[in-house]
Structure 1
Amino acid sequence: MYRKILITTDGSAVSQHTACAGVKFAHQMGAEVLALFVAPEYQYPVYVEIIPPSYPSEDEYIAQMRRTGEDYMGRIMRSCADAGLKHSCMTAFSDATALKIVDIAEQEGCDLIFMGSHGRSGWGQILLGSVTNKVLSHTTKPVLVHRLIHEPAAT
């Protein structure tokens, strides 16, 4: 039914558990997995005439965010490899996370977006997460929203 599934993560414990559920779902479907981490754009210091020496350069920031993304997606990649699934990962940069998720799903030919009901910015179990809600509002692709009943312990 689905050939390529986009699984998003923000590195939080909730999104890591959601990603594992996404890999299990992809295994059931026999689908390829594309793991995605969207990092915020580099921000130049505001109202500073001279950039402090301790402030990372844009290249340093991009390299660090790519390493962070690889770390976040490492568990997903290992789970895919263990399940024998074709898989890849991508770190993208945007301050509009939901729109970037929708764009990547379109560009990469994904049939389904698999994401959690809440991530780093969730308000508990009261409201649907803002990024998830925006993805649902901006895509024509199917979105499977995974909801955890209990908050996982941080690992």
Structure 2
Amino acid sequence: MYRKILITTDGSSVSSKTACAGVTFAEQLGAEVLVLFVAPAYQYPIYVEIIPPSYPSEEEYRAALLRAGDEHTRDVVQACLQRNIRCTALTTFAESAATEIVAAGVKHGCDLIFIGSHGRSGWGQLLLGSVTNKVLSQSRIPVLVHRLIAEPEYKN
């Protein structure tokens, strides 16, 4: 059915749990995984005439966020390795995470986007805006939304 699944992560606990569910789903289908972290694009400080010495250069910023992307995608890559699932990790930079997620899915030949949702509804969803909603509205690739309503209970 699906051969290559794009799983998104932003490093939050919700996206980590979604990524775990995505790996399980990929394993059930025998699908390959592309795990994606979208970092915010570098922004020059426009409110000052001289860039403060403490402000990171674009190269420093990119290096730091590439390291963060490696950290955020590491668990998914490890879970895939343990289950013999082919997996590629990717960190990209963009002003709009939703647009970049959709573009990455198309560029890398994914046939499903697996993305999380906090499970908000009504005003909470409307006021906060949602990357998931934007992906749903922009994507021509099927999108599977993993909705995490409550944190799972762990038993020791």
Normalising by structure 2, we get a TM-score of 0.90
Name the counterpart of 1:114.
114
* Deviation (angstroms), 1:125: 2.4
The runs of 4+ residues in structure 1 deviating greater than 3 Å are none
* Deviation (angstroms), 1:49: 1.7
**What secondary structure does 2:53 align onto?**
coil
Distance 1:90 1:152 in 2: 27
**What secondary structure does 1:54 align onto?**
coil
Distance 1:149 1:53 in 2: 44
Distance 1:50 1:148 in 2: 45
Matched, 1:27 2:22: no
**What secondary structure does 1:133 align onto?**
helix
Distance 1:138 1:151 in 2: 29
Distance 2:149 2:51 in 1: 45
Matched residues, number: 148
Superposed counterparts of 1:83-94, under 5 Å: 83-94=83-94
Name the counterpart of 1:125.
120
Distance 2:67 2:30 in 1: 29
Name the counterpart of 1:47.
47
Letter in 2 for 1:79: A
Extract unaligned runs of 5+ from structure 1.
119-123
| Alpha-carbon distance change, 133 to 84 in structure 1, aligned in 2, over 3 angstroms | same
Distance 1:98 1:68 in 2: 19
Letter in 2 for 1:83: R
**What secondary structure does 1:51 align onto?**
coil
Extract unaligned runs of 5+ from structure 2.
none
**What secondary structure does 1:34 align onto?**
strand
Normalising by structure 1, we get a TM-score of 0.91
Q: Is the 8 A contact 1:5 1:113 kept in 2?
A: yes
* Deviation (angstroms), 1:79: 0.4
* Deviation (angstroms), 1:75: 0.4
Superposed counterparts of 1:55-94, under 5 Å: 55-94=55-94
Identity of aligned residues (%): 61
RMSD: 1.5
Letter in 2 for 1:21: A
Name the counterpart of 1:121.
none
